[in-house]
Amino acid sequence: MMCVKVVIPARYGSSRLPGKPLLTLLDKPVIWHVVERCKEAGIEQADIFVATDDQRISEMLKGEGIQVVLTSLSHQSGTDRINEVVELKEWRDDTIVVNVQGDEPMIPPEIIQQLVSFTSSNPFYHLTTAVTPLSSQEDFVNPNVVKAVIGHNGRALYFTRSASPMNRDNPSDLTFAKRHVGIYAYRVSALKEFCSYAEDELESYEKLEQLRALSHGMSIGVMTFDGVVPHGIDTSDDYETIKKIMEEKTF
């Protein structure tokens, strides 16, 4: 029987918006809403863990009955933080771990469900992730919108902040343009391999940790999600926008 765990990395010291996991939306912290989306995806609460480096987040969530693992302050990425949870919990190598970002309180539960199914059906990929079609030229050239370049059978070739792939003869053609959604799934064995590698030069250059996997020959399978995936909370403006949407109950 397939064993699925969700781990939500939640770092307090965000450079652009410190303390964002504890900002309130509808009288609950942001991170609480992320946990709720995971439960709505059919994940049992006993299989959901928040991985944090800060006691304030830990104390807040324990009061909500949410499982919290206090992790090291020195991790370079959320994936490294998740790997510490895996080691502490001693999960089996065939366990599927889903990495749901701690700043996406409006992530659709359907994308979590579909990624779990995709991962289970495609065991030959080391990692799996999701994309959505990209139809805005503004987003296509925006370096804050990460693009995925996808090859045969949904295999990821590259991830970049640049406008890519570019139609040489018709630059406005966005047929193959995909926005990367920051949700991942991996079996524990692949997660351990990923975290055995040091930070890669390309990873550091583009600030995209998935390039560490590609640089070392690991395969990434990409699932296309046709629904709308709201932007996460990176800045105070993002927070105010999502707060307004949720208060108006339009999500």
Cβ atoms 184, 128 nearer than 8 A: yes
Residue 250 banded pLDDT, cuts 50, 70, 90: low
CB 223 within 8 A of CB 117: no
Q: What pLDDT is stored for residue 2 in this prediction?
A: 83
Arithmetic mean of pLDDT, 199-228: 95
**β-strand 48-52 against 68-70: which pairing, if any?**
parallel
The arithmetic mean of pLDDT across residues 152-172, rounded, is 96
Residue 17 near residue 108, CB atoms below 8 Å:
no
Q: What residue spans of the chain are helical by DSSP H?
A: 30-40, 55-62, 78-89, 109-121, 137-141, 188-196, 201-206, 210-215, 236-247
List the end-to-end C-alpha distance of the chain, in Å, as a whole number. 34
Contact 20, 9 (CB under 8 A): no
Pairs from 22-28 (Cβ < 8 Å, separation ≥ 24):
22/56, 22/57, 22/60, 23/233, 23/239, 25/105, 25/242, 25/243, 25/246, 26/246, 26/247, 28/64
Instruction: Provide the pLDDT for residue 76.
Output: 76
Indicate the pTM of the whole model: 0.93
Which pLDDT belongs to residue 58? 94
